[in-house]
Chain A
Amino acid sequence: MEDISRTKESKQSEPTSFGIYILVWLGLISLTAVTAVVSGIDLAAFTIVVALVIALTKASLVVNIFMRVKFEDKIFKVFLGIVGFTLLVIFSLTFSDVFFRR
């Protein structure tokens, strides 16, 4: 992990045009409407999966565009990866207990 880049000026990503932000916002609002509607449909266990997938999509839009992770240094993606991985570990190992109860 060599790091000459560290001695360079920290690079700032190009300012994003307002348009992209507004587009993303429209997407988020639509997705919200979609999940609200879908929740009325009974898909048994599948409902929560759909809801979470949509939530993840929304979160991903906020993280990548509003929080600009997509445009900036790789390190922030690595940080998020670490969090994601930790959550995966914590949830699956806890469920290795809970899932097999009585």
Chain B
Amino acid sequence: MADVALKPDEVRLRNVSDELGYLANEGKRKGIAAWILSTDHKRIGILYLVSLFSFFIVGVILGVLMRLEMLAPGGKLFNAQEYNALFTLHGVIMIFLFVIPGIPATLGNFFLPIQIGAKDVAFPRLNLLSWYLYVTGAIVILLSLFQHGLPDTGWTFYIPYSVRTGTDVTMAVFGVFILGFSSILTGMNFLTTIHRMRAPGMTWFKMPLFVWALYATAWIQVIATPVLAITLLLIIVERLFSVGIFDPSKGGDPVLYQHLFWIYSHPAVYIMILPPMGIVSEIIATFSHRTIFGYKMVAMSSLAIAFIGYLVWGHHMFVAGMTNTADFVFSLLTFLVAIPSGIKVFNWVATMYKGSIDPQPPFLYVMAFIALFSIGGLTGLVLGSLATDMHVTATYFVVGHFHYIIFGGGVFIFFGALHYWLPKMFGRMYNRRIANWALGVIFVGFNMLYFPMLLLGYEGMPRRYFTYLPQYETLQRISVVGSWVLVAGLALMLTNLLRGIFKGEKAGPNPWGGTTLEWTTPSPPPAENFEEIPVVDHEPYYHPEAEEPEELEAAK
């Protein structure tokens, strides 16, 4: 590298970029332009990270407002119309602007190429385009605020109300349509990258499990999202031209809309959970100092979940008016998806057994995940069984269920992954003690907020209501207070991470002792990731010393 004699300012530049890696501006562009015009996957990942968390905060605020309405019955804060708009926007933002792009667009973009030993994704310019589409979609959704008002249909835009309502569904739905393209492009990019750009020696079964998870997720993004696209287009066509496709007075079938909608939206939840599960494998392997038990089974289980996820969408429609046959078929298929999920959990536990556990913040987030995801999953069984579903469907039970899974499961790992990878991305460490405290507060607040919902639903309170009967007041109030605790914890966590990024202690290339390729690069990584493309000759999570920990101790 140092064969050619360098001029003095070259030396200075070289040092800056050595320290800051991809964060330093090497080209002619400066400032913001160097970021929003960059096709470097790492910078795009950061752009997404900033956008996503900005919208997450908006979504949280909306959630807090919704909870405040629930402090007392009677709709004292917002009227019914306003409350409907609140939960619609909350859902649209959290789902389409936060969780669906989620880990793939942020950490996937940043780490996929590095973990497979590549210099970038297959189509870097399409990658940047997908971020532009994300921002455009977000703006279009927010534009609906200014025309005829935010939609009040719920994020599910069910027919017939989404066609009849005077609010600006067309604009909002068009925004989601654009976001769908962003998601599709990311999926296409990742699939091609994984197929064509792995480093020499990295066969399919030497890829890290995060990569397998991203692969399975990318398939869902590519195959399922177009169905959402056509569904949204049909809403727009209905609103503009009254074609009649879902209009019963013209022979249309509203239930058919629900079929089309959930054919995407159920696989979509696997877009939300598969990448976090991939990261759980990474974190458990690193902090148990062991290789993942049953690596192949875990890899295959990601594909199995993606596959089975296509077969179960009707479980969102048990009371919508499907035939008994369909109810039965979908309920049966729904139970199948527990199998690959179970495979993962067993292998994670087996990995930790006799491992040398290092309870750092990322690992503690995984522990929280296991607890919360289990509750979410078990409540899913209640919903998947026809008889019990009849009672709890469309109640707060469902709201509790999906928040446990998506938030307690997926988003908690998003947080944990940030704690895992931030030192690599920015070269600095956050305060670990504060991180642990923040997690504690978040965990307590989360359960205070959502567990009462399970009880409320069980006791019959419907969801999406702006007011309620007095008998539900106590549980609602506990939940509201829980939301404040949760927000406090989130604020603590985010502040700690931000402070770490800008003022934290320098972190070396491998503060946790990880064994996947990203830990072999400097922190932060250089713009081109690797000076020389690595050649891979062993499985991932290769811990030769873990096989004989006593010998390692003796050697010290």
Mark A residues whose CB is within 8 Å of B.
Answer: 1-3, 6-7, 75, 82-83, 86, 89-90, 93-94, 96-101
A6 B322 Cβ-Cβ under 8 A? no
Mark B residues whose CB is within 8 Å of A.
Answer: 195-196, 198, 200, 203-205, 219, 223, 227, 255-256, 259, 263, 310-311, 313-314, 322-326, 329-330
B325 A6 Cβ-Cβ under 8 A? no
Query: In the bound complex, how far is the Cα of B205 from the Cα of A6, in angstroms?
Result: 15
7 contacts between A and B (CB under 8 A): A6-B195, A6-B196, A93-B313, A97-B314, A97-B322, A100-B325, A101-B323
Q: Which residue of A lies closest to B200 (CB)?
A: A7
Query: In the bound complex, how far is the Cα of B195 from the Cα of A93, in angstroms?
Result: 31
Query: In the bound complex, how far is the Cα of B322 from the Cα of A99, in angstroms?
Result: 10
A100 B310 Cβ-Cβ under 8 A? no
B324 A100 Cβ-Cβ under 8 A? yes
B204 A2 Cβ-Cβ under 8 A? yes
Q: How far is the CB of A66 from chain B (nearest CB, A)?
A: 23
Task: Tell me the interface secondary structure of chain B in the complex.
Answer: helix
Q: How far is the CB of B367 from chain A (nearest CB, A)?
A: 34
A90 B263 Cβ-Cβ under 8 A? yes
User: Which of these, B198, B219, B323, B329, contacts A3 with CB under 8 Å?
Assistant: B198
- Which B residues lie within 8 Å of A98 (CB)? 256, 323
- Which B residues lie within 8 Å of A100 (CB)? 323-326
- Which B residues lie within 8 Å of A83 (CB)? 223
- Which A residues lie within 8 Å of B322 (CB)? 97
Q: How far is the CB of A71 from chain B (nearest CB, A)?
A: 19
- Which B residues lie within 8 Å of A86 (CB)? 223, 310
- Which A residues lie within 8 Å of B326 (CB)? 93, 96-97, 100
User: Which of these, A1, A93, A101, contacts B314 with CB under 8 Å?
Assistant: A93
Known A89-B311, A97-B259, A100-B323; judge A75-B195 contact (CB<8 A). yes
Known A6-B198, A89-B310; judge A94-B204 contact (CB<8 A). no
Which among B200, B313, B323 has the highest number of chain A CB atoms within 10 Å? B323
B330 A93 Cβ-Cβ under 8 A? yes
Q: How far is the CB of B156 from chain A (nearest CB, A)?
A: 18
A82 B198 Cβ-Cβ under 8 A? no
- Which A residues lie within 8 Å of B223 (CB)? 82-83, 86
A82 B325 Cβ-Cβ under 8 A? no
Q: How far is the CB of B515 from chain A (nearest CB, A)?
A: 21
Known A6-B195, A82-B219, A89-B311; judge A96-B329 contact (CB<8 A). yes
- Which B residues lie within 8 Å of A99 (CB)? 323, 325
B323 A97 Cβ-Cβ under 8 A? yes
User: Which of these, A2, A6, A7, A94, contacts B259 with CB under 8 Å?
Assistant: A94
- Which B residues lie within 8 Å of A89 (CB)? 310-311
